[in-house]
Structure 1
Amino acid sequence: MFKDSFKYYKARQPAPDLKDVIDVHNSDNKNVRKITVFAADCQNDLSLYLGLKPVEGWSAFDFINIPGLLFIKNPFTPSGQRNWIVKCLKNYTKKPNILNIDAHGFLNDDKTWWDESFGAASKTDLLAKLRWATLGYHHNWDTKHYAENFKTEIPQDLKDLTSVFATALGFNKFNAEAAIINYYRMNSTLAGHTDHSEIYLEAPLFSVSFGQTAVFLIGGLKLEDPAHALLLRSGDVVVMSGNSRLRYHGVPRILYGDSAPWESNDQSLGECNDWKRAKSYISEARINLNIRQVLKPGQSAL
């Protein structure tokens, strides 16, 4: 059952055995099969500015025992990962986006989480307090609903990023309208849940990981159903579509990654101050970007 599996992988003493965790980066994995991605010239034009490798070089998979769950193995370049990590930490934590810490008065009106955490008089205790940010249609954590008077513009780069992913996987009409960014420390977890707040549940949900590695648990439509555990490394993209869209899922454990795919041998990339700060954060953290379509095709408002 999902709860039993979650408890097992969350346990500290004794630590769980990871032998049954599906690792798509293992070329001998029998739980997945390779699928075709669709590459077009316009996608590769977008990919360049989004920090993505050419689409025709991506490795994408589906899961034999989890219909509808799709996986793109790190399609980002090292500099692309750097840029997106900085965006998640510096850009997407600014107003008008909403943060979990807003209600606690930790930030002055003219200061951002980034400024306060990494500025001259840095408040390092704020680093661990940041847990989520919402963009576009803001998810209401109490009602689990969206509202037309509780939304802001979703960043164009997020719309473009999911457009490339969607087109490559054959979801040609996907429209990014809401995003939640989760910020995990090494002892963080995300309890099992389903994502059912969106009106148009036929649209896929895109989830992008950066930083340290996560054990991602996905079960069935009921908590009583068995669950599968997957390893998600920095840059990996998971797409919940079709039958998998409403399955229970969560993150019982964060692990230190066995590589740092944001690093590069290209000395021309250098290390600007923004990246130095982001790199220090990501060495002890994981970021998850998940993007959804809220409205039905052709619908302009709730």
Structure 2
Amino acid sequence: MAGTSADDDAQPPADALSENPYLALFVPASLLPSRSDIHDPTSPAYKKARRKHLKSTRNRPDSPLDAHRTPFRAAEKKYKARFPPPDLSDVLDLAAADPARAQEVARGKCNGRADAIPCEEILLRGEEGQAHQRRAYMFPGTPGLVLLPSYVSRADQRRLVRWALSDHAKHPNETNLDTHYVIPREGLWNQYLNVRKGELEDIEVLPRAAVLHQSNPYPAETLPEPPGPRKLIANEPASPTNYSKLVSTPKPPAPPSPSDTLMAHVDRSELSATSPLVSISLGCAAVFLIGGLTREDPPTPILLRSGDVVIMSGPACRRAYHSVPRILEGILPPHMEGSDGEGEDARDWEVYEEYLRGTRININVRQVFPKGFDPAAGSQRAAP
């Protein structure tokens, strides 16, 4: 499988763009990098960031812990780095060899290579009415890991974004905010949409210590923050005496910044350790790392873009350490902007687009309990 890089951190992005035949054919001039690009070593922005970086690290002593980092932790630190911009030449980026995704690749200042990691391509069974044969990729070094690039259609990506924010992140489903706040039954996102339209007055949100039923928190990157709690957290101590002083404003919920990441972990909440997990990426691209059963195993780096699907199956893969150390800001694909051309009002989508510009939404489908297990019956037997 051959592919070329759409960007090379060691050279100005314009050079890398000109070397990629796909980008030269399909990328409009408006998407070429500007001279203010921090990823271009010849740009004023890069030189300014370099001076700032050198100044901030001049008197910083080397930590003795650096020499004892595990391979997984070292990889996380590498891709989390803000300056110098991380070199993604060793990251698998299958979009780099796909002409249909050339504009999406060109928007990124850090791109991987389609031949960076050994993988085996397999054809999927075609669906009726499908114009192109979709492909999947398996990894000999990580048995049970399957990557399906650009598997979710563009229309379905937008539909899933609406579903995740408007339909799913609300009662009766619990979020990681339910532990601390009394969340409106319609969900924070829907309430924010009403505030944005001017249909609601300012609403006070008070924190609570705990909830009375089992919680299954969502990943932080899938949830907007309410204006009220953000104001509360910004205040000095978040105590009941300060509640009356809080005045939240109808401003957009702060999207998770590119620094909001998911560090190395193993999925242990499911009783079934071998059932497949299906993960759908939406919004900004991100670096995904998957290693082995310990942090001593060097991880495989993969660049996940909007519409990509990852399947983790089998005990070796489902119990492997994995993380998302970096969300790449400003890499929202063109089909996530404006109207979809199918009757959707661009103004209606605008609020979702604003949120997605700094956000990656990850939708997971997993089997928590073994087949035939009734969690309700189990909880009744465990009750005193």
* TM-score normalised according to structure 1 size: 0.70
Matches of 1:104 and 1:138, distance apart in 2 = 12
- Report the structure number with the largest CA radius of gyration: 2
Structure of higher RCO (CA pairs closer than 8 Å, 6+ residues apart)? 1
Change (3 A) 1:271 1:205: same
Matches of 1:115 and 1:264, distance apart in 2 = 20
Aligned residues of 1:78 and 1:263 also touching (Cα < 8 A): no
Counterpart amino acid of 2:191? E
Matching residue of 1:167? none
Q: Secondary structure at the match of 2:342?
A: helix
Matching residue of 1:112? 187
Query: Are residue 15 (structure 1) and residue 89 (structure 2) matched?
Result: no
Matching residue of 2:362? 288
Measure how far apart 1:207 and its partner are: 0.7
Matching residue of 2:161? 85
Aligned length: 240
Matching residue of 2:133? 57
Query: Are residue 99 (structure 1) and residue 179 (structure 2) matched?
Result: no
Matching residue of 2:265? 193
Aligned residues of 1:220 and 1:226 also touching (Cα < 8 A): yes
Measure how far apart 1:37 and its partner are: 2.2
Counterpart amino acid of 2:342? S
* Alignment deviations for residues 241-289 of structure 1 (CA, whole Å, 9 cap, x no partner): 1221111001111103263343588633332654222122112211001
Q: Secondary structure at the match of 2:360?
A: strand
Matches of 1:280 and 1:217, distance apart in 2 = 27
Contiguous gaps of at least 5 residues in structure 2? 1-70, 98-113, 201-213, 223-255, 379-384
1:137-286 pair list within 5 angstroms: 138-139=215-216, 182-183=221-222, 184-242=256-314, 243-255=316-328, 256-257=330-331, 259-262=333-336, 267-271=341-345, 274-286=348-360
* Alignment deviations for residues 178-207 of structure 1 (CA, whole Å, 9 cap, x no partner): x86842432211011001221111111111
Measure how far apart 1:35 and its partner are: 1.5
* Alignment deviations for residues 67-95 of structure 1 (CA, whole Å, 9 cap, x no partner): 21101112222221111111111111110
Q: Greater strand percent: which structure? A: 1
Measure how far apart 1:38 and its partner are: 3.5
Matches of 1:186 and 1:261, distance apart in 2 = 21
Report which stretch shifted further, 114-123 or 221-230: 114-123
Aligned residues of 2:175 and 2:215 also touching (Cα < 8 A): no
Matches of 1:181 and 1:219, distance apart in 2 = 22
Contiguous gaps of at least 5 residues in structure 1? 45-52, 124-136, 142-178
Aligned residues of 1:38 and 1:56 also touching (Cα < 8 A): no
Q: Secondary structure at the match of 1:4?
A: helix
Q: Identity rate of aligned residues, in percent?
A: 35
Counterpart amino acid of 2:77? K
Q: Greater helix percent: which structure? A: 2
Matches of 2:158 and 2:135, distance apart in 1 = 21
Counterpart amino acid of 1:102? D
Aligned structure 1 segments of 4 or more residues deviating by more than 6 angstroms:
none
Counterpart amino acid of 1:233? R
* Alignment deviations for residues 18-38 of structure 1 (CA, whole Å, 9 cap, x no partner): 111111223352522212324
